[in-house]
Structure 1
């Protein structure tokens, strides 16, 4: 058995306590309205429509524009993808083909106090029309003028995809953040003509959201394959922002908000509080049972379970900067509960294996080592199947440009296009829960238990589940 030092238990336990406290409370600096959030906490969770209510808005094309059913479907699909990309995973989007209308319902953002529906609509992102124009000439008001006003190269509907990436883009091999664009067949032809014209003079192609300039990259060479990159002084956030704004402008026409209002919650915050209280009571009862029945392994398992819950909360709130916050709804809560059950199961299997080895006459060290080794395959098998399910759910029901969709692209044709946030949310919480089960229920708990076994006063078989001498 590999020796684990005595301080390891305290180090791991303190890290779990720190994660738990900060994931629930968050870290903010400043005071009053000038507070700056460093780390998001449970108070920053965006709750679903069923718990907190939300916004009901009806969008329509510009006056006099007769949208086809295909264009309405395209706009609906882009709105759904945009919502999921912003991790708004509880929404309803309904097309009205007869009246050229799209009805959208989604929850209030975290921390909303004024419940201003007109202001909340802006969170959907730009509903304006995206255009790529020749040059970057602007007037005194910053609007396009001259050739830039008159020469529209392509529109948002010609953009198939826009993604933020990181890596080398030239022969220097230096990694940097950049935005990748992919155009449709018509867009490819128009872009090839424009870049061929502008490459020799190192002219620019500006990107506009209606009359607002959002980027003006310089053309380095003719681009004929329908794929290009925008590079510059990007960081991860600015690259993602530009990619999202370009995707948001891929609508076939400009959307206008015809009417909007508020939606009352179905369950309400009191129901949410009751659910949280019930979950807390269940966690306490499970911990008491584990401690009484398995003793020291039960204590370690309880600490690991708290860490697993904290890790899942952190993934929902956006605690880890690389991952945005998610809307927490009933399906998402179900994913959390299921993964907690998997965490309990992992600790029970390990504790029972250790108990069996002790009763077979092995030493404490030998029993812990054998118990951990013999239980891992069962834990791994049950958890890896859940990971497969979660990844498939996120790939099928998430944004088509997401990592999981790309991984599953060879088989996604069987399911057809979908961007169902509720199912995507369930897959997300289930996946993060299983990952933290491996981190806490397998790795952290085993480190802590091996560390405790180094203390002379605790080296009693009955403390590890064996018979009392």
Structure 2
């Protein structure tokens, strides 16, 4: 008995610790700002925080079907880099960029959804996301090439700017991808570049004509690298080597990939939600959750008495675990997601109700309360399992086929159902096992009664 009580006490301690983490890591509740592990505020979607959403259609008609997923992933990474590198979006936290595979809900189109919390100027957002970035590969100017000269209005002769590099005709449209790799001989970081068929031929011609010279790589007019050409490079692949460290190689790789859009995109819809409307939606969602919890708690305690108290305790642990998951995952909470979480509150006590009703049946047929609890947990398991599995399957289907709004609901509903199943059986059973019922007298009959009736113990002769 004492071992069971120690286990139950440890569960309570862990639950309190989780609840404390949820409280202290939320600046709006605790009033404190933390760094490191405790810097885990809830991530709110646009409908709760306000901001701009852009939805783009991706043209994958020229991409092999087996490569669509990879190319869409590259597209997402390019857009994420644009957001991070843009000065207009400085201070934008938790921007969300996600791809949606073609299915019946979006007209069988590959789509890209971008959410920018706090940004309410749609035109500004579109200008940054859809901007054309220039990636150029230039060669050294011929020293014998004439210098441009102009005569100004004042009669003075003006020498044109002497640029070290000139256009070679090779740009980012020929680039398939760039990867950070390691030299198999030296083990040093390198950057590998892969060209498409046209780019492969053009690059071979350029390198053949510029052996011993440098080729400058320009991104939006600024040189990001100027590697030497040691020999003619054929085969559609090139390797940039040098005194790179891993970080520098990755940065160059990202800049090269940033300079091209692997998939053409077209803006199909925009939406804007003001911060005030988002705050109202957040308050409404929180209020609904609190009211739902209190209503369930009152019903369980008034109808099931002591088992109801334990069920409410389990429900509080369930809520703490779910909120911690929302922070640590992290989950972007939307109004639909909060709705899924609130619905899961009712499902969270469903297993306890089935157990309690089975316990009542066992006691009514002459069993003791302890026997009723044991039988209730064992015999109700099949019903609890089947009902929860059906909910999990439904949530999975919704997540796999639904839009972003439906996915948010489905994810919180799925996680809520899964966590509630674990808490209802593993935690609830530990708490009941730590209770000493003694001779199961009138007090025990009252505490384990339900509704307007006490538990009746039939003493067998």
- Alignment TM-score, normalising by the size of structure 1: 0.56
Q: Do 1:89 and 1:425's aligned partners in 2 also have CA atoms closer than 8 Å?
A: no
Give the secondary structure class of the aligned counterpart of 1:5.
helix
Counterpart selection for 2:330 from 324, 327, 331: 324
Q: Give how far 1:158 is off.
A: 3.8
| Superposed counterparts of 1:65-144, under 5 Å | 78=75, 87=96, 106=115, 108=117, 117=121, 121=125
- Displacement of 1:13: 2.1
Q: Equivalents in 2 of 1:370, 1:244: separation in Å?
A: 64
Per-residue deviation, 1:33: 10
3-state DSSP class of the match of 1:453?
coil
Relative to structure 1, the CA distance from residue 276 to residue 39 in structure 2 (aligned partners, 3 Å threshold; closer, same or farther) is same
Structure 1 residue aligned with 2:22: 23
- How far does the alpha carbon of each residue in 1:40-91 deviate from its partner, in whole angstroms, 9 at most, with x for none? 55x5331433x4431267999xxxxxx98969x99999569979x9656899
Paired position in structure 1 for 2:50: 53
Separation (CA, whole Å) in 1 of partners of 2:255 and 2:308: 46
| Corresponding residue SS for 2:4 | coil
Q: Which residue number in structure 2 is paired with residue 464 of structure 1?
A: 448
Give SS of 2:288's match. helix
SS at match of 1:38: helix
Conservation of the 8 A alpha-carbon contact between 1:87 and 1:324 = no
Label 1:119 to 1:371 Cα distance change in 2 as closer, same or farther (>3 A): farther
Cα offset, 1:302, TM superposition: 0.7
**Alpha-carbon separation, structure 1, partners of 2:350 and 2:409:** 20
Between the two proteins, the alignment pairs up a number of residues equal to 365
Q: Per the alignment, do residues 104 and 453 of structure 1 end up closer, same or farther by CA in structure 2, a change over 3 Å counting?
A: closer
Mapped contact 1:346–1:441 kept (Cα < 8 A) = yes
User: What runs of 5+ residues in structure 2 fail to find an aligned partner?
Assistant: 63-67, 81-93, 101-110, 139-163, 183-191, 208-215, 226-234, 238-244
Deviation at 1:430, TM superposition (A): 1.1
Q: 1:123-178: CA deviations, max 9, x gaps?
A: x98967597999xxxxxxxxxx989x96979769846x99xxxxxx9xxxxxxxxx
Relative contact order, higher structure (CA 8 A, sep 6+): 1
Alignment pair present for 1:427 and 2:405: no
Contact 1:54–1:264, Cα closer than 8 Å, also in 2: yes
Residues 261 and 333 of structure 1: CA distance in aligned 2, closer, same or farther (over 3 Å): closer
Q: Could you tell me how far 1:119 is from its partner in structure 2?
A: 12
- Asked if the contact 1:129/1:249 (under 8 Å) is kept, the reply is yes
Deviation at 1:34, TM superposition (A): 8.0
8 A contact 2:135–2:219 mirrored in 1: yes
Cα deviations across residues 301-349 of structure 1 (Å, max 9, x unaligned)? Answer: 1112122223332333xx22xx3331x2232122112222211212211
Within 2, Cα distance between the matches of 1:244 and 1:351?
61
Once superposed, what is the RMSD of the aligned Cα atoms?
Answer: 6.1
Task: Work out whether residues 78 and 261 of structure 2, in 8 Å CA contact, stay in contact via their aligned partners in 1.
Answer: no
Identify which of 280, 283, 301 aligns with 2:293.
Answer: 283
- Provide the rounded CA distance (Å) in 2 between the counterparts of 1:103 and 1:25: 35
Report the CA distance between 1:386 and its aligned residue: 1.9
Matched, 1:336 2:326: no
Give the distance between the partners of 2:387 and 2:261, measured in 1 at CA. 42
The structure-2 alpha-carbon separation of the partners of 1:86 and 1:263, relative to structure 1 and needing over 3 Å to count, comes to closer
Which residue in the other structure is 2:284 paired with? 274
> Which position in structure 2 is the counterpart of 1:97?
none
- List alignment gaps of at least 5 residues for structure 1: 61-66, 92-101, 110-114, 135-144, 163-168, 170-180, 199-205, 216-223, 227-231, 398-419
1:55 match: secondary structure: strand
Aligned counterparts of 2:306 and 2:394: Cα–Cα separation in 1:
33
- Separation in structure 2 between the aligned mates of residue 248 and residue 433 of structure 1, nearest angstrom: 42
Could you tell me which residue of structure 2 aligns to residue 299 of structure 1?
309
Cα distance, 1:34–1:436 mapped onto 2, change above 3 Å: closer
Give the number of the structure whose alpha-carbon radius of gyration is greater: 2
State the alpha-carbon separation in 2 of the partners of residues 389 and 188 from structure 1: 46
Map of 2:375 onto structure 1: 370
1:347 to 346, 352, 355: 352
Partner of 2:428: 445
Deviation at 1:107, TM superposition (A): 5.3
Q: Distance in 2 between matches of 1:462 and 1:425?
A: 43
2:401 to 366, 390, 396: 396
